[in-house]
A and B are shown apart, each in its own frame.
Chain A
Amino acid sequence: MNNQKKLIDVTPFEPLVIKVHYDNWDLESIIPICEKLIEEAPLKTHLELNDAASSVSNKLAPPHLIPEFKPFYRWILPMIEHIMYNEWELNRKIDIGISNSWVNVHGMGGITAEHEHGATAVVAAAYITLPPNSGFIKFKDPLEYVKGIRPENDADMRFYKTVKAQQGDVLLFPGWLRHKTEPSKTDEKRWVLTTNFVAALNKDKLKL
């Protein structure tokens, strides 16, 4: 917000994209597991283009059920609860569960095409590695139709907003918010762990 004229953003609606940071990735043990998850994934997802792959179809071994990822999930769960119940004011009688988790890897030119996560209450995108020039995430403005009266030229620039990040950052956002990634411009691998946290009525509360 430009403060030249003492303009204050007083938009009273809750934040949509929240960033936290996790410092405890043990890359030496995690990366080989991630590579195995990708290798054993039975299907190639249509969202991953060029030099990109995902373990999303590997339902037998989602990261949240793998011991090496447990410290991350123990760390993030209280934050997910806080966001769901306090920031976004969801009903406290509804428990939190994980419907799926997976890792994505992007090499040179790799990209994740535009998508959303359906009924997911909170999506967590955790940057296990994020080399320079490997591409950031871009969120599509959910108010694009009402803002569409703006006479401007570049529709993609107009409605997509890039969120910069660094290795270890974790971005949290609602499942309905559409997003995609920038293409990677490096040969170094970009690894992202994604988790769908759902509002799980009448289901056992997640224990970690």
Chain B
Amino acid sequence: MNIQALGDITPFHPLIIKSHFDFKWNELESISNYLINTTEQEMVLETGGGLSSALNPKPPHMLPEFEEFYKWFLPMARHIIIKEWGYTPTINYNVVQSWVNVHENGGTTLEHNHGGAILVASAYLNLPKDSGFIEFRDPMEYQKGFHRRDNMGWEWNECKAKTGDVLCFPGWLKHRTQPSNSDEQRWVLTTNVGF
């Protein structure tokens, strides 16, 4: 069918924004493992071979090994919050929490959101082939659910990525990961920005 070019002119803010940072994974692998190994409490969201340092009192953003990343990340996060999403510039947005997750083969993170975080950043420290992407739940599923769809699970939408990609999205947006089908570990650094 010869369809005239359709222009997407949806005027609302972009919800998920991708950028890229070249992590030196060989220099971060040791500290990332240390954070996982010294976390005493397990996260209920991590299943099937997934572990998180979310409850570790040492968050990555306070560690010198991750300083270079946060020096790059924070101005960008503030730019997105203020310029792209229209928040007031009179507040000093800052990192409020951070952690690393690791997924073995079969590992997955269950559906969740980040509550009051203004911006969440998922940074792929190491994303092997077939280790699973993040999926976002359509926040307009109730409005769109009015009409019948061909495909079950249409409300879940995958965002493809590669090692070094950094996905920024609002804390209220529900998401989960696909299970890893790789024997190589998938490492993600997650950061909550708030005020």
Contact = CB atoms under 8 A, between A and B. Distances in A.
> Is chain B a partner of chain A in the same complex?
yes
Interface of A: 1-2, 4-13, 15-21, 78-79, 82-83, 87-92, 94, 119, 121, 139, 141-143, 146-147, 149-153, 158, 161-163, 171, 174, 176-177, 199, 201
Interface residues of B, number: 51
Contacts of B172: 146
A99 to B, nearest CB: 14
A158 B85 CA distance: 10
Contact of A16 (B3, B10, B146): B10
A13 B137 CA distance: 9
Given A1-B84, A90-B147, A162-B11, A13 B140 contact: yes
B6 A83 contact: yes
A16 B6 CA distance: 12
A149 B5 CA distance: 36
Contact of A9 (B5, B17, B151): B17
Interface stretch (B48-56, B86-94, B100-108, B177-185): B86-94
Interface in B9-24: 9-20
A9 B13 CA distance: 9
B3 A174 contact: no
A33 to B, nearest CB: 25
Contact of A5 (B15, B79, B87, B143): B79
B170 A2 contact: no
B157 interface: yes
Nearest to A116: B143
Given A8-B18, A150-B88, A152-B88, A2 B79 contact: yes
B8 A15 contact: yes
Given A4-B79, A139-B12, A143-B139, 12 more contacts: A7-B80, A7-B84, A12-B136, A12-B158, A15-B6, A78-B1, A89-B151, A90-B147, A90-B150, A91-B150, A94-B147, A146-B172
A139 B11 contact: yes
B181 to A, nearest CB: 21
Given A5-B76, A8-B17, A13-B157, A146 B139 contact: yes
Given A90-B149, A146-B139, A11 B11 contact: no
B8 A158 contact: no
A5 B19 contact: yes
A79 B11 contact: no
Contact of A78 (B3, B7, B79, B80): B3
